[in-house]
Amino acid sequence: MTDNLLTGLMMDDFQLTLTTLVERAERLSPTRPVVSRRPDGSLERTTMGDCVRRARRLAAALSALGVGIGERVATLLWNQAEHLELYYAVPLMGAVIHTLNPRLPPDDLTYIAAHAADRVIVVDESLLGVLESVGWAFKHVIVVSRSGAHPVGSLEYESLIASARALDWPPIGERRAAVMCYTSGTTGRPKGVVYSHRALVLHSLVAAMPDVHGISARDVILPAVPMFHVNAWGLPFTAALAGASIVLPGPRLDPVSILDLLESERVTFTAGVPTVWMSVLEALDAEPDRWDLSALQRVSLGGAALPVSLLEGLDRHGVTVVQGWGMTETSPVGTMCLLPSELDAAPRDAQHEYLARQGVPVPFVELRARDEDGELVPWDDRAMGELEVRGPWVVAGYHDGTDADKFTADGWFRTGDIVRIDPRGCIRICDRSKDLVKSGGEWISSVDLENRLMAHRSVAEAAVIAVPDDRWGERPLAAVVLRDGMQATPEELRRHLSIEFAKWQLPERIEFVRAIPRTATGKFKKTALREQFGSGLAA
C-alpha cells in the first residue's frame, strides 16, 4: 500500500476546469439575469441558465461542423450575449476560443488568424466589413444576424443553435487550452497568449476576492472592457464562478450609454480602461443629477495609468475607483491597489497618492524588478527596474515559442514595464521599456510607425514616442529628420502612413527636427525626445 502521507495523495485530484464554473452557474444560479444591449439600444434579457443551455447546443453545432479538441474558434463580436455563449461553449467542448480585436489593421488580423490557424469564425453582422478585409480562409463563417440575413456561403448563428441538440460536456484536463488572445509586439507582429482552464479558474477565484474585484452572488457586473481584450479581464468567468449577474453593453462604450445601463440595471461592479471613464466623468460633471448610481460599489480601472484627476473627479460623484495592473500575458490581473487600513485616517491627498499606484500583487502572483545590470532592485520606492512576474496565470511562453527572450532562465516573465516597488510591495509604473504607445487602451507600435515613415522618400530618420494625452492617455508623436533638400508636410506623411495604419493610430503631431538624439550604442535616445516633447509644450 502506498503511504499517502508521503505521496500527498490524500485529496481528490479534482481538475480545475471552466466546466465546473459554468455548470455551477447553470445549476445554482440559473435565474441570474444576463442583459445584453443591442446596437439599436434595445435590451435583450435572458438568464445564466438560458445562456448555458444555448451554449450546449452551440457546442453541439460547432462539433458537427468539425471543430475538434484544441481547435480554434475565432470571434469578431462585441460585448453581447452570443459572445458570452461562445465563452462558455468553446472551452467546455475542449476547443479554444480566439477573440479577435476588430480595431486592428487588416494585416494584423490576417496574420493573427493564420498564426492561430483559426478554423471557424463567428462574426456580428456589423463587423462583416472587417471580416472581408481578413485574408484568411476560415472553414466556416457563422454570422450573428438580427434580421436572419447573411452572406451566401456563411451560416447563421440562430439557425445553427435551433437545429442542434444539447451537448454533454466532455471530460477535459485542467491544463488544456481554453482561450487564446494576441497582444501587440514591439516590432509589429502580435504574439499569441494561450490560457489554460486551470489558469482561468484560479484567476477567477482570486479576482472574486474582496481585495481584488470583490465579486459575490449579489453582484451585477458590467464589463466595460471589450470581450476581445484579455477575456474582458476574465469577468465572464468570474461571474459564473460567483453566480453574479452580467450586463453586456454591446458595441457602444459612450458615456451616456454606460451611465444609462449602470442606472437601469442597478450595476454594482464595472471595469474598464481610464479613457472610457474620463468621458463618463465629463458626462457626470455636466449633468450631476441625471443618473442614480447608488447601486454602484466599485469601478476597477486598469490597462493604463489612472490619472489622479479621474480618481478625484469620480470620488466627487461618490464613485469608488480602484486601480489594477495587468497584461494580456497575465490573464490579466497582476496587482491591485486598495487603500490599506493604515491610511484610513490619512488626508485625502495622501490616500489619492497611494491609490494612483498600481498596487500590490494579488495572491499567487509574485513580482520583482531588475535594473539594467540585472541586479534585483530593493523595495524602497526609489530604485527603478524592469518588472518581472510569475504565477499560475502568467504565461510561460508565447504560442509558437516567439519572443523567448521575454522569459528568464529561472521562470519569470519580463513585462517591459519599469517600476519602483515600495516596502509594502506596492508598485508604481514609471516608464516602459517596450516601444509601444497605448492610446485609449489599444496599442500602437512605435517601431512600425518609424519603419513606415522611413520608407518615405523624403524621410532620413524618424522616431516615435508616446506623449501624454488627457483623453486617450497617450498619443504617438513622430520626430522626423528630412533628407537634405527634400520636403514633406505632416499631412503628406500621415497619408503615407494611412496605407498601413488605422486612422486612430496616426500621429497628430509630426515634428521636424534636425537630428534625433542617440545613445552611446547608436540607438534613438527616446528619453531625450520625451524630455523635449513629452510635456506637450512643443505642440
Binding-site ranges for ligand AMP (CB under 6 A): 183, 230, 302-305, 323, 325-328, 332, 358, 415, 417, 429, 432, 438, 443
Rounded to a whole number of angstroms, the minimum distance from the CB of residue 328 to ligand AMP is 3
Residue 282 annotated to the active site: no
Is the CA virtual torsion 23, 25, 27, 30 positive or negative?
negative
Q: Are 25 and 32 in contact (CB under 8 A)?
A: yes
If we measure between CA atoms, which residue out of 115, 79, 100, 190 comes closest to residue 444? 190
Q: Are 57 and 51 in contact (CB under 8 A)?
A: no
Three-state DSSP state, 447: helix
Task: Return the number of the residue (95 or 355) whose C-beta is nearest ligand AMP.
Answer: 355
Cell 439600444, residue? 41
Task: Return the number of the residue (125 or 417) whose C-beta is nearest ligand AMP.
Answer: 417
Catalytic annotation, pick one of 85, 265, 329, 450: 329
Round to whole Å and give the CA distance between 322 and 336: 7
Rounded to a whole number of angstroms, the minimum distance from the CB of residue 334 to ligand AMP is 8
Task: Return the number of the residue (80 or 183) whose C-beta is nearest ligand AMP.
Answer: 183
Run of H or E including 450 = helix 446-454
Task: Return the number of the residue (143 or 235) whose C-beta is nearest ligand AMP.
Answer: 235
Residue 353 annotated to the active site: no
Catalytic annotation, pick one of 20, 183, 238, 415: 183
Rounded to a whole number of angstroms, the minimum distance from the CB of residue 489 to ligand AMP is 33
Task: Return the number of the residue (185 or 255) whose C-beta is nearest ligand AMP.
Answer: 185
Residue 438 annotated to the active site: yes
Rounded to a whole number of angstroms, the minimum distance from the CB of residue 333 to ligand AMP is 10
HSE of 38, CA atoms in CB hemisphere, 13 A: 11
Burial class (CB in 10 A: 0-12, 13-18, 19+), 41: exposed
Catalytic annotation, pick one of 191, 406, 434, 438: 438
Task: Return the number of the residue (262 or 311) whose C-beta is nearest ligand AMP.
Answer: 311
Quick one: cell of 215?
A: 465579486
Rounded to a whole number of angstroms, the minimum distance from the CB of residue 439 to ligand AMP is 11
Catalytic annotation, pick one of 443, 450, 472, 526: 443
Rounded to the nearest 5 percent, the helix, strand and coil shares of the chain are 30, 25, 40
Three-state DSSP state, 405: helix
Task: Return the number of the residue (183 or 270) whose C-beta is nearest ligand AMP.
Answer: 183
Q: Looking at beta carbons, which residue is closest to ligand AMP?
A: 328
Cβ atoms within 10 Å of 136's Cβ, excluding its own: 17
Rounded to a whole number of angstroms, the minimum distance from the CB of residue 183 to ligand AMP is 5
Round to whole Å and give the CA distance between 72 and 84: 16
Give the single-character DSSP code of 114.
Answer: H
Residue 329 annotated to the active site: yes
Sheet bearing 96-99, strands edge to edge = 155-156, 140-144, 120-124, 72-76, 96-99, 177-185, 188-196
Rounded to a whole number of angstroms, the minimum distance from the CB of residue 355 to ligand AMP is 11
What is the Rg, in whole angstroms, of the alpha carbon atoms belonging to the chain?
Answer: 24
Residues acting as catalytic residues: 183, 329, 438, 443
